[in-house]
Amino acid sequence: MHFLDQAPRCMFFTGKGGVGKTSLACATAIRLADAGRRVLLVSTDPASNVGQVFGIEIGNRIVPVAEVPGLSALEIDPQQAAQAYRDRIVGPVRGVLPDAVIRSIEEQLSGACTTEIAAFDEFTALLTDASLTADFEHVIFDTAPTGHTIRLLQLPGAWTGFLDAGKGDASCLGPLAGLEKQRAQYKAAVAALADPTRTRLVLVARAQQSTLREVARTHAELAAIGLLQQHLVINGILSRADAGDDPLARALCDREDAALAAQPEALHALPTDTVALKAFNLVGLDAVRQLLADTPAPATANAPTTPAFDAPDFAALIDDIAADHHGLIMLMGKGGVGKTTLAAALALELAQRGLPVHLSTSDPAAHLADTLAGSLPGLTVSRIDPVAETARYREQVLATRGAALDAQGRALLEEDLRSPCTEEIAVFQAFSRVIREAGKQFVVMDTAPTGHSLLLLDATGAYHREMLRQRGAQTQAEITPMQQLQDPEQTKVLLVTLAETTPVLEASHLQSDLRRAGIEPWAWVINNSIAAAGSEAPLLRQRAHNELREIEAVAHEHARRYAVVPLLQDEPVGVDRLLALAERRIATP
């Protein structure tokens, strides 16, 4: 494995949920420890299952892994870190400032930005204080800081006084409140991340076109801020030997080959490794050791028979949606779960039934046109370009709030507008224009704003104040975009996930976030299910059996209603295949 060659002191594993970061980080730590190195494995993953992998309780303390001499582990709980972080910031002003102001501050500190910064705050010391990790030769991090987090940390410390003086209305600076004292330490930590002699970033992906596009964006984002020592690991490759003569398995091999052949050019320059798909769950030392074994374990011959399967299908959800004749349908979920495909299939099926539909996306990867590869009468397709919308928003803010500022104030405002969360507000403005059409037709939205983004915008009033200024007093008589999203008669939110542990957990967190914003998800859609597809390949039969627990959890713990979409032999691209996906009925054995 190239990413293990001459391993530096620190290694970070990063990637979207469900691609196998934790398993690879654990396997790497074990491999180094087995070679006689002293290794500390640190997880900052909100869905961390490191303790489960090793069968021990870990938590926020360094714990030796008894069965692997030389290996210790530490789990930083990002939620606990974020709560302690919020208490540290809000505590001194509670009872001093009005309750409404306190609530606004708490909301600004409630989202993913704060969790990322708080987690970074926790492990910064591990990067910069050699005495804390002096007993270890290697520190392996499961879940690296994103380019988003590092760009936030690089914003200037002078912005606090700028906001206190009432000169700005920052988009995403709340999470950085009170951090000036740690800026020197943060600067040292970012420098350590960018030092190729000390740090290596391992980008983890799957052999899927959408996932490879996502990881290419991450590569470019991290490279742009100086983190150049990157390796790519493509996890979960189905071998031809394991596929055998099974039609579905052979089709999956063909799709993986096509995705790898079409991967973004930027990824070709990265040192790349591939890891074979395993039939078993990666829990326990024996299983994790096999992940990076030179000789992959053969698929078990006594895999469970294809499970009997009965679940609602996507077509049943579409029937219920179509009965309303109009409305806003938002498909939400993490990257790589198939939101764009399902949004396109849903929109095409509604249009096929003679209903007017506007299908729109704010996906930066912009592969909606490639997925559709055609159209139908009654279907309008648009794309909200985040880059163009952000540029337009910046110009608007500088022309209004920035007009009366002095040179220093304007410079700070321009710096704030380079914050990554500025894009959220800009895209929300464009999104709000599109969803107004839902009173007369269907609007199907791929990649909607998150619950935290909505609450942040609503709490600060940034969007609503701007909307009132632009459109005048008549807006007061209309419902706001937030009210439209909260109204179940007008909006249906579909959470898209996969039948795997991490994607389901991340979707449940998103659901909690939306509920906090007063938005109740209407349904869950479990996409690309092997259990629903059926297969005779032993490896896929075992994986289908593993899916059942997650499908059961969605059905009985998370969703009010749900549907399962089978993994298809043919890539669902083009009008005919998308319509077939929307019409497909899962056979009940």
Q: Which residues are catalytic?
A: 18, 20-23, 45, 502
Q: Which residues contact residue 544 at a Cβ distance below 8 angstroms, ignoring those fewer than 6 apart? A: 304, 306, 307, 529, 530, 531, 533, 534, 535
C-alpha–C-alpha distance, residues 452 and 171, integer Å = 12
Nearest residue to 430 (alpha-carbon basis) of 480, 472, 394, 392? 392
Question: 3-state DSSP call for residue 70?
Answer: coil
CA distances from 136 to 9, 201, 275, 526 (A): 9, 19, 27, 42
Q: Which residues contact residue 152 at a Cβ distance below 8 angstroms, ignoring those fewer than 6 apart? A: 113, 116, 117, 172, 175, 176, 419, 420
Report the residue count for the chain: 589
Provide the β-strand partners of residue 411. Answer: none
Residue 244 is encoded by which pair of tokens?
A: 């055998």
Residue labelled with tokens 């806003």: 328
Q: Find how far residue 431's CA is from the centre of its chain.
A: 20
- Half-sphere exposure of residue 367: CA atoms within 13 angstroms, side-chain side: 19
Three-state helix/strand/coil letters over 528-577: EEHHHHCCCCHHHHHHHHHHHHHHHHHHHHHCCCEEEEECCCCCCCCHHH
314-322 vs 339-352: helix axis angle to the nearest 10?
Answer: 50
C-alpha–C-alpha distance, residues 413 and 410, integer Å = 5
Strands 63-64 and 71-75: what pairing? antiparallel
CA distances from 261 to 139, 265, 269 (A): 34, 10, 14
- Half-sphere exposure of residue 411: CA atoms within 13 angstroms, side-chain side: 6
Residue labelled with tokens 């055998």: 244
451-460 vs 422-435: helix axis angle to the nearest 10?
Answer: 90
C-alpha–C-alpha distance, residues 509 and 320, integer Å = 26
C-alpha–C-alpha distance, residues 242 and 260, integer Å = 19
